[in-house]
Amino acid sequence: MGEIQFQLIDPLLPDAQAEEMLKLCERYGSYGMYGEESIEDDMGEGLTQRHDAVLNFLKTGGRGGRNEPLARLAARTNYFREEYAYAEPLVKGIEPVLGHPGFIEASKKLYGCSIVEPSIVYANILVPGQELTLHTDVPEFRGINRKSDPQWLIVAMHHSGLFDKWRMRIATGVSWFGHPRGGGFVFYPDGPYGPPVEHSVRHNTAILLDTDSVFHGVNPVLERDEPMPDLRPGMRLRFAGDGRWQLQDGDGVLARYSWDDLRFSISWKAYCYQDEAEQQTVKSHTDDLTRQKVLGVLSQDLEKRGRFDPEANETALALTIIEEYIHFPPPAPSLANQQPS
């Protein structure tokens, strides 16, 4: 690690550019649901991509501590997402965030690195009643990434500490625009058993940290008099003009919102390298992991811990890996409104 655990940036952009981020969101116009789909992979067949976070969410009832049916709980954390940049801008106007010098400098301090490559920018929108389940983001290793391997496995790899040599350092900057009611950003800068910090989000501010390592989530966005609709994959949130949004299921409109109802954030991710030699090792793929090697290392470690069952099927092994290596913070029924300094 470098000089900092996290860094707040306030303000992130000049006022006019911050307002443009809201207009950019409106121009993009239509947002699909992030969802949790089953993966087509023999390793953990039938598990969701983030089965670790799903299990913890169902166990605790989420940040709201709710006791609700499975489908209702799932809807609360199935927020809306779209990409604004992937190595290069995908939508005009996102350049001030993609190349933000404050994010780049904070990333260098976070990891003590000299090279920072901005990579991805995406938007998250939560409607009233939704929250973001406690989790760590999906990391990346040389040869192992979310395009080819189950996300829960990659998360377990990082939490195991057995593959640090191959880990690719990723810095994440989360920025907020608009004036949501609720939806505070909760994170654990001192580890899963340290005290949680709740940061009340404000327009045109941001935080940069290692979200692959630091557990974090979003408290519920204030629910209005009307209950949250029964959300399910396939629905879309669309801009309807004049600062209004509507939740659609096909051509049907289930709910209407104003900007003040929504929690809109933009996340920035960048690869961080110690030097050009490390950067070249990554790009040349001369020292990549394989799925076979990863499972071999994990199986040997599980055997040392007395947790390996040679007769277990792939799904049983997957659940054992999740249980053994990914340790979530204990449930917090109430949070002090601590502000990071």
Percent of the chain residues topping a pLDDT of 70: 94
Average pLDDT over residues 270-275: 97
pLDDT tier at 35 (50, 70, 90 boundaries)? low
- The tokens of 336 are what? 């002090």
- Is the confidence at residue 96, as pLDDT, over 60? yes
Mean pLDDT of 10-15: 98
CA 198 to chain centre: 16
> Could you tell me the pLDDT band of residue 63, with boundaries at 50, 70 and 90?
low
Task: Check residue 40 and give its pLDDT.
Answer: 58
For the cut 50, the answer to whether the pLDDT of residue 139 exceeds it is: yes
pLDDT at residue 337, as a whole number: 40
Contact 30, 237 (CB under 8 A): yes
Q: What is the pTM of this model?
A: 0.91
Reply yes or no on whether the pLDDT at 335 is more than 50: no
Q: What b-and-e string marks burial along 69-87, b requiring 16 or more CB atoms within 10 Å of the CB?
A: eeeebbbbbbbbebebbee
Task: Specify the pLDDT at position 341.
Answer: 40
Between CA 179 and CA 204 the distance in angstroms is: 10
Reference 156, options 331, 272, 320; nearest CA is 320
Predicted pLDDT of residue 293: 97
Q: What is the pLDDT of residue 2?
A: 75
Query: Residue 195's pLDDT is what?
Result: 93
pLDDT at 106 over 50: yes
Q: How many CB atoms lie within 10 A of CB 326?
A: 22
Is residue 332 scored above 60 in pLDDT?
Answer: yes
Tokens of 247: 């939740």
Instruction: Give Cα separations from 133 to 3, 52, 230, 234 (angstroms).
Output: 28, 11, 18, 20
Distance, in Å, from the CA atom of 153 to the CA atom of 146, rounded to the nearest integer, reads: 9
Question: What tens digit of pLDDT does each residue of 145-161 get?
Answer: 988 899 999 999 999 99
pLDDT band at 38 (very low <50, low <70, confident <90, very high): very low
Most confident option among 50-54, 136-140, 331-335 = 136-140
Please name the helix (run of DSSP H) or strand (run of DSSP E) that holds residue 74, with its range, or none. Answer: helix 70-76
Q: What 3-state class would DSSP assign to 320?
A: helix
Q: What is the pLDDT of residues 192-246, one digit of tens each?
A: 999 999 999 999 999 999 999 999 999 999 988 788 998 988 999 999 999 999 9
Geometric angle at alpha carbon 185, from 183 and 191, rounded to 5°: 145
User: In the predicted model, is pLDDT for residue 339 greater than 60?
Assistant: no
Q: Over range 77-82, report the average pLDDT.
A: 93
Reference 339, options 2, 3, 6; nearest CA is 6
The reported pLDDT for the residue numbered 41 is: 64
Q: With 70 as the cut, is the pLDDT of residue 255 above it?
A: yes
Domains, in order of start, for the chain: 6-325 (2.60.120.620)
Q: Pull the structure tokens for residue 268.
A: 């920035």
